[in-house]
Structure 1
Amino acid sequence: MDDDRVNRTVVLPLVVPPERVADLHATRRRVAYCQRRTSDVCWDDPNRPADVISTYRTAETALYHQLREETEGLHSNLVQKAMKDVTSNMGTAKSNWRAGDQVGQPTYPDSQDDGSYAITYDKRAATFHKYEVSLATVTGRVECRYVLPRDIQGTPYERYVLDSRWSFGTSKLVFDGERFWLHAVCTRPRPTQPVWATDAVDESSSDTQTRIRLLGVDCNVDGHSVVTSVAGFHGNADALNDRREQFERVRGGLQQTGTRSAHRTFYGMSGREWRFFDAYAHDCANGIVDDALGARCTHVVFEDLTRIRKRISNAPKFQQWLFKRIRTYTADKLELLGIKTATVNPRNTSKRCSHTDCESCTDANRSGSRFECVDCGLALHADYNAARNIALQWFAENAHEMKHGQSSQTCSAGRATSQLALKSGTLSPDGVFSPVDGLSTDKPTSSLVGR
Structure 2
Amino acid sequence: MSEWAWRYDDYCITSKSRAEEPLYDELREETDLTANLVQKGIRRAIEAVTGGVEKLKQGEKTSQPKFDSWSIVYDKRSATFNDDHATLSTPNGRVSAEYVLPPENEREDTPFGRYYESDNWNVSRATLQYDENEDTFYLHVTLKNPDYGSDGAERQESESRDDAPENGVVLGVDLNVTGAFAVTSTAESIGSADFLTHKRDQYDQRRACLQQTGTRSAVLTIQSIGSQFSEWSLDWLHNRANDLIEEAGDADVDGIIFEDLTHIRESIANGSKFQQWAYAKFVELVEYKVESTELFVDFVNPAYTSQRCSHCGCTHKDNRDDKQFECQSCRYEVNADYNAAKNIANRYCGYIHCGQKSRGGWATSQLALKSGTLNVNGEYTPSALRG
Q: TM-score range by the shorter chain?
A: 0.5 to 0.7
Cα deviation for residue 408 of structure 1 reads 4.6
Three-state SS of the structure 2 residue aligned to 1:235 is strand
Change (3 A) 1:256 1:291: same
Does 1:419 find its partner at 2:373? no
Does 1:237 find its partner at 2:184? no
Change (3 A) 1:12 1:241: closer
Gaps of 5+ in 1: 1-5, 14-74, 86-91, 99-191, 193-198, 439-444, 446-451
Q: Which residue of 1 aligns with 2:252?
A: 296
Cα deviation for residue 393 of structure 1 reads 1.0
Q: Which of the numbers 224, 243, 249 marks the counterpart of 2:205?
A: 249
Three-state SS of the structure 2 residue aligned to 1:341 is strand
Q: Which of the numbers 327, 337, 343 marks the counterpart of 1:389?
A: 343
Distance (whole Å) between structure 1 residues aligned to residue 330 and residue 300 of structure 2: 25
Change (3 A) 1:351 1:94: closer
Equivalent AA in structure 2 for residue 10 of structure 1? E
1:9-158 correspondence runs (5 A): 9-11=19-21, 80=68, 95=92
Task: Give the fraction of aligned pairs with identical amino acids, expressed as a percent.
Answer: 35
Distance (whole Å) between structure 1 residues aligned to residue 368 and residue 381 of structure 2: 10
Does 1:265 find its partner at 2:212? no
Three-state SS of the structure 2 residue aligned to 1:426 is strand
> Residues 337-360 of structure 1, C-alpha deviation per residue, up to 9 Å, x if partnerless?
1111100011100110011xx200
Q: Which residue of 2 aligns with 1:428?
A: 375
Q: Which residue of 2 aligns with 1:125?
A: none
Change (3 A) 1:349 1:437: farther
Cα deviation for residue 266 of structure 1 reads 0.9
Equivalent AA in structure 2 for residue 11 of structure 1? E
Q: Which residue of 1 aligns with 2:352?
A: 398
Three-state SS of the structure 2 residue aligned to 1:380 is strand
Does 1:364 find its partner at 2:311? no
Cα deviation for residue 215 of structure 1 reads 0.2
Distance (whole Å) between structure 2 residues aligned to residue 283 and residue 77 of structure 1: 37
Equivalent AA in structure 1 for residue 182 of structure 2? V
Equivalent AA in structure 2 for residue 248 of structure 1? D
Query: Are the aligned partners of 2:349 and 2:364 in contact in 1 as well (CA < 8 Å)?
Result: no
Q: Which residue of 1 aligns with 2:154?
A: none
Change (3 A) 1:333 1:393: same
Equivalent AA in structure 2 for residue 431 of structure 1? G
Q: Which residue of 2 aligns with 1:285?
A: 241
Distance (whole Å) between structure 1 residues aligned to residue 323 and residue 304 of structure 2: 15
Three-state SS of the structure 2 residue aligned to 1:256 is helix
Three-state SS of the structure 1 residue aligned to 2:347 is helix
> Residues 360-411 of structure 1, C-alpha deviation per residue, up to 9 Å, x if partnerless?
0001111111111111121110000000000111122332335xxxx15124
Cα deviation for residue 286 of structure 1 reads 1.4
Cα deviation for residue 297 of structure 1 reads 0.3
Change (3 A) 1:7 1:296: farther
Does 1:409 find its partner at 2:356? no
TM-score under structure 1 length normalisation: 0.51
Query: Are the aligned partners of 2:353 and 2:365 in contact in 1 as well (CA < 8 Å)?
Result: no
1:158-173 correspondence runs (5 A): none
Three-state SS of the structure 1 residue aligned to 2:252 is coil
Distance (whole Å) between structure 1 residues aligned to residue 91 and residue 175 of structure 2: 28
Change (3 A) 1:326 1:431: same
Three-state SS of the structure 1 residue aligned to 2:21 is strand
Q: Which of the numbers 316, 326, 330 marks the counterpart of 1:376?
A: 330
Equivalent AA in structure 2 for residue 401 of structure 1? G
Q: Which residue of 2 aligns with 1:340?
A: 296
Query: Are the aligned partners of 2:352 and 2:358 in contact in 1 as well (CA < 8 Å)?
Result: no
> Residues 244-283 of structure 1, C-alpha deviation per residue, up to 9 Å, x if partnerless?
1110011111222122211211111111110111122112
Distance (whole Å) between structure 2 residues aligned to residue 389 and residue 307 of structure 1: 15
Change (3 A) 1:368 1:393: same
Equivalent AA in structure 2 for residue 417 of structure 1? T
Distance (whole Å) between structure 1 residues aligned to residue 299 and residue 342 of structure 2: 13
Query: Are the aligned partners of 1:426 and 1:437 in contact in 2 as well (CA < 8 Å)?
Result: no
Query: Are the aligned partners of 2:352 and 2:365 in contact in 1 as well (CA < 8 Å)?
Result: no
Change (3 A) 1:287 1:259: same
Change (3 A) 1:249 1:342: same
Query: Are the aligned partners of 1:427 and 1:437 in contact in 2 as well (CA < 8 Å)?
Result: no
Computing the radius of gyration over CA atoms, which structure comes out larger, 1 or 2? Answer: 1
Distance (whole Å) between structure 1 residues aligned to residue 350 and residue 90 of structure 2: 31
Change (3 A) 1:265 1:304: same
Query: Are the aligned partners of 1:209 and 1:417 in contact in 2 as well (CA < 8 Å)?
Result: no
Query: Are the aligned partners of 2:210 and 2:222 in contact in 1 as well (CA < 8 Å)?
Result: yes
Query: Are the aligned partners of 2:349 and 2:375 in contact in 1 as well (CA < 8 Å)?
Result: no
Distance (whole Å) between structure 2 residues aligned to residue 207 and residue 430 of structure 1: 23
Equivalent AA in structure 1 for residue 280 of structure 2? K
Three-state SS of the structure 1 residue aligned to 2:245 is helix
